[in-house]
Chains A and B, each alone.
Chain A
Amino acid sequence: MEKKKKGVSVFDVILTIGLGIICITCVLPFIHLLAVSFSSSSAVAAGRVGFWPVEFTAASYEYVITGGRFLHAMGISIERVILGTLLNIVLMVLTAYPLAKEDLPFRGILSGFFVLTMLIGGGMIPTYLLVSGLGLKDTIWALILPGALPVYNMIILMNFIRGLPHELEEAAWIDGASPFRTLWSVIFPLLGPSLATVGLFSMVGHWNDWFAGMIYMSDPMNYPLQTYLQTLLVDFEKLLQSDTTGNIQDILSKMNARTGRAAQLFLGALPIMMVYPFLQRYFTKGLTLGSVKG
C-alpha cells in the first residue's frame, strides 16, 4: 500500500486543484469585501474592485473606528458573549449532570420537560410581553435570560457525561464526596472538549444573534453589533428598492456608504474568523459528539 500511495497521478492533481477552487470560493467573498473596504468609493461604484484594493484608502476604517457607534456596539456584543456564555455553561452543566444519572427518579419526566420546549413555543409576542413584564427590556438580561439554557447543547453534554467511565465517580462517592463536590472536582475537569464545543456554540450563537437586540433595546445606541449591522443592511435594501417615493438626494449620498458597510461587515466577521482556526479541533470533536449513542 505504501508503494502505491507514492505515485502522484493526474487524478490527484485534479483533485487537489478542484477542491482548492471549491475551498477558495468560501473565502473569496470575504477577500472581495476586504478589497472593497480598502478602496475608494468611486472605484467601487465603477465596479473596478476585485480582490485587491483599488485607489487604496483606509478612510472607511477611520470612519468606523472614530464614529464610535461600531465600537460601542461591539463592546455590548462582547459583554453579552461573556455573560451569556458563562450562564449557558453553568446552567447546561448543572442540568446535564443530574439528567445523565440513569437511576435518577423521574428522570424521564424531567428530560421530557426540557425536550418538549424544543418542539413547541408560545411565539414571539407572549415572549416579548413576558420579558417586558419582568422589566428586562433595555437590559443585557433580555438578550441572555430567555435563552439561558440551550436544550439541544445541554443534551449533547448529557450524552457526553453518560459516556464517561463510572469508576472515577464511584471512587469519589466512596470518599464521601457530595454530588456537588463530585461534579466540581471529578466530572467538570473531564468535560474539556465537549464543554469547549457547546461553549463555543453558545459564543457563536450570542455573537451572531441580531433579533433579540432589535426587539428588546429601545435605544439604537444599545444595539449589539449584529443588530447594528442589520440596520445597515436595511438601509441598503431601501436603497435598492428606491423608487419615486424616496428622497433621491438622500439615497444618492448613501451610495458612497458601500465601502463603509464593507468595512463594518468585515470587522463584524473578524473576531469569529480569528478565533475559529484555533478552536477548530474542538468543533470537529463536538460535531461528532452529537452522534454519540446514549
Chain B
Amino acid sequence: MHKNFRKGAALLLSAACLTGCMSKPASPTGGNESARVEPPADIWAPYEETVTVTTMGEENSGTEFQGDDDYGNNPWYRAYKERFNINLVNKWISNDYGTKLNLAIADKDIADVFYVDSARLTTLYEAGLIMNLDEVFDSYASDVLKGYRKDYADTWETGEFDGHLYGMPQMSYGIIDQFQYIWIRQDWMKECGFEEPKTMDDVIKIATTFAEKYGGYALPECQTLENLFRLALSWGAHPDIWVKKDDGTIEYGTIQPEMKEALAQYAEWYKEGIINPNFTTLNWDKMMQGMINGECGVIPFAQWFGYNPLPDLIKNQGADAIFYPYEIPTQDGSPIKGSVTFNNNGYVVIRKDCPNPEAIMKIVNFYVYTVNDAVGKETNEYLSSLHSFNYPNCVRGTRIINPMNDYNQYIQVKDAFDRYQAGEDVDTSALGTNLSKYESCVNWVTSQDPNGVGDFLQQGNDRSAYGIAKKYVDEKQYVQDAKWGPDTPTLQAAGSTLKDILVEGFTKIIIGEKPIDYFDELVEQWKTAGGAKATEEINEIYGD
C-alpha cells in the first residue's frame, strides 16, 4: 500500500484543489466525470421514476437529530430523493446490529444494501445471498471511488472472492491517526528550561526532573502496559502487529528480540523508581485520573490526548498545563517508525436479487463526492447539513470513507488556522465540513476553551500530532501490519488470552519477580497457547 499511498494523496489533493479552484457552478448531475466511464451516459443522472432501495442500519446514540429528522428522514435520505429520485428505506434499525443482522441472514430476509464485517461477508458469499459487484462497479462507480480501489488495492482485495468483488471496503479515516508520541507538560518544561528531547535519555531526564520538582512519579503506566507498548517503538519493536521479516516470513511483533531489549530497559527504570510503582493496581481510567490530578508531566500517548484527558486536566490544573506531542526518539537516532494496522470499517454488500444495484452505486458515489470534490461546488451550508450532528451515522451502510480524510483535513485546517494566526482573512466557506475543527482551534487560542484544545493539538499547528504524523505518512515512516485483513480463526477464538499471557509475564519481569530471560520462556508459553498455530495461519493467509 505504501507505494500507492503518496500517489493517492497527491491525486486526491490535486482533485480537491482543482475542483475548488475551478469555481464552476456545477451540480453533481452536471456530468463532469471523465470519459473513462463507458456505457451509462451519466452516472449522476436522476431516475425518471422513483426507485426504492432498502437498507438495514445501526442505532447510534451520537446522532443528534434536528427537528423532525430520524433514521428514515434526514439530510442524506432527502438528498438521495432530490438528486437521484431514489427512496432509501430502512428495513430496520437496531442498537444490536450484529444480532439483528444474523437473524435476518438466517431468515434470508436482507435489505438491498447494508454493511457487514468480514466474517459475515464470507457467510453471505457462501450462502449465495450477495451480488458479484464487478459489473456494476465498473459501470457505475465514480472515478474517485475507482481511485480508492486502485490506491488501496490491498484493502479492496479483502472484499474479493476469486478475484470478484463482493464487498466494497468502507475504509477508514486514514493511517495518520495511528501514530504514537511523547506528550510533555509545557509549563513545567519552560520552568525547568528543557528543549525538545532528542534521545530517550533526554525524555527520562525531563520526566525524573519533573517528578523531583513537582512530586508524583516520572512515567505513568497501567495494568495493560499501554506505555511500554508505545515506547517500544524506540527500540524498533512493533508490539501488537504482525511484522514481515527479511526472509519473508511473518512473525508476531510483541515476541521479537527488540521487544526484549525494550522490556529490559523498562524493568531497569522500574527498579530505579522511574515508573509509577503502583502501576499494577491501576487500570487505564485510574492512570488517567493520576494524569488529571497532575501527578505526572510526561506520557507516551496517541494523537487524541488533547480530547481525553487533557480538557479535564486543564480544568483541574489551568490552561498552562497544556501538553504538546513530541516524536519518540529512537535508540540509534534513526527516524522513528510507527505501527500501522489494518483498519476497515466494514464492507458494503448488495443483495443478489436487488433490481437496482446501480441506484446503490449512485448513493455510494454521492457520499464519496461530498467528502472529495464537492467542496466549492456545493455551498458550505449544504455540506455541513450533511456532515454535522453526526448525520453520516445514518448512512453507515452505504458510505465509503475517504482514507485521506484526516490527512486532507489537517492540511486544510492548519492552513486556515495559520492564516488566522497571521491575521489574514480566512475563507471559512472553503473549509466545508472541517469548519468546526478550525473554530475549535480558534476558540482555544482566543478563550482557552478546554473543549477546543483537542482539535488544536491534533491538527491546529505544526507542533500538533498530525503535524508530526504527516511527515510519517509522507516519508513512509511506518511498518504496516502484515496481517492486512481480519483475524484468523485461531486469533478469533483466542480473543485476548494470547496477549494476556504476555502482558502478565512482562509485568512480572518489570516488577523484578522474574529475570529478563523469562521473556524467552513466555514466548514458548505464547506459542503453545495457540501462538504457533496463529503464526502458521497468518503466514498461510497473508504470506507471500
Contact = CB atoms under 8 A, between A and B. Distances in A.
Instruction: State if A and B touch, Cβ cutoff 8 Å.
Output: yes
Interface of A: 125, 128-129, 132, 214-215, 218-221, 230-231, 234-235, 243-244, 247-252, 254
Given A128-B106, A129-B107, A218 B92 contact: yes
B95 A128 contact: no
B103 A215 contact: yes
B308 interface: yes
A218 B96 contact: no
A289 to B, nearest CB: 37
A235 B93 contact: no
B59 interface: yes
B106 A247 contact: no
Interface residues of B, number: 25
B62 A248 contact: no
B496 interface: no
A218 B390 contact: no
B83 interface: no
B170 to A, nearest CB: 14
A249 B92 contact: no
Contacts of B59: 220, 231
B311 A125 contact: no
6 shortest A-B CB distances, which residue pairs? A218-B92, A248-B307, A250-B62, A231-B95, A235-B61, A248-B308
Nearest to B92: A218
Nearest to B311: A252
Given A128-B103, A252-B311, A219 B304 contact: no
B520 interface: no
Contacts of A244: 302, 304
A249 B455 CA distance: 10
Interface string B100-117: 100100110100000000
B107 A132 contact: yes
A170 B43 CA distance: 83
A248 B454 contact: yes
B27 interface: no
Given A129-B107, A231-B59, A231-B95, A215 B100 contact: yes
Contacts of B284: 243
B23 interface: no
Contact of B91 (A218, A221, A234, A252): A218
Contact of A252 (B94, B109, B302, B308): B308
Contacts of A221: 70
A215 B95 contact: no
Contacts of B91: 218
B99 interface: yes
Given A248-B307, A250-B390, A214 B62 contact: no
